[in-house]
Amino acid sequence: MVIELRPSVSHRTVRDPLEIQAFLGSITTWPRSLRRIAGNQGKATMTVERIIAAAGDAIAERGIYRVTMREVASRARLAVGNVTYYFETKELLLEAVIESIGYEYVVELSRMFDAPAAVHLDEMVRYLIAAAHGKQRALLFNLWVMAHYERRLRILLDRIYNSETRILCFACKSAFGNLSDARARRMAFLIQAHIEGVLVLGDPARFNRASLARLVREIIAGARSAVLIKPVRPGRRS
């Protein structure tokens, strides 16, 4: 069975801007590491962002267990005391790195709702594939490994994954208005599974524009086909 990748003409394909705004507001939160200094914007915020960026680079290159606060301070060109002032322990710094990644993902995906409904899903899938390569890919891998042993990190990563799922689910219903909530969720899960498979088995950096566009179409079409096919129940044996 061939299903064309074409949005439904249902009224659900056109989202009310206020509905989109309300949805995004329900999942978009500022990272706690930045919220706690929100009253002192400017230099303090820039310092925290430098520390988080330096920690992310260090983890991607050397792995979580080898990274020290001193190394992070050196990469950020700060004194160790400046780093520990904002992050007393390495665990708190790791939490901030995860929160920062999650916030960036949600913000970037949310911006794509400015495009027509039929384009939301394509742009989101393309972004999720293209964003996770190089240092970002190594960073995410190291964080996932650490999350198996640290419950707090696992909770934070699950929160990122769940937010991504909710955004994709929302985009699926926008692009294909005939999907029920349950089918939209399954489609979002399948899209995420396809993307993870691509990231594990291939290198997104090797895709050119044409091959990436073709891959995005195949992922979406495959996921939609899977959720629309009704399972065949085996008949009773005589």
Alpha-carbon separation of residue 49 from 10, 52, 55, 87, 93 (angstroms): 43, 5, 10, 12, 11
- pLDDT for residue 1: 29
Superfamily name with CATH number, domain 17-228: Tetracycline Repressor, domain 2 (1.10.357.10)
**98: number of CA atoms within 13 Å, CB side?**
25
The DSSP code for 112 is G
For residue 87, give every residue at least 6 positions away whose Cβ sits within 8 Å of its Cβ, in sequence order, or none: 33, 51, 69, 93, 96
| HEC-encoded secondary structure of 34-62 | HHCCCCCCCHHHHHHHHHHHHHHHHHHHH
Give 3-30 pLDDT, tens digit per residue: 233 333 333 333 455 555 555 555 555 4
CA end-to-end span of the chain, whole Å? 30
Q: Which residues of the chain have pLDDT under 70?
A: 1-43, 115-118, 132-134, 202-206, 230-238
The DSSP code for 163 is H
Domain boundaries in the chain?
Answer: 17-228
75 C-beta neighbours (distance < 10 Å), count:
18
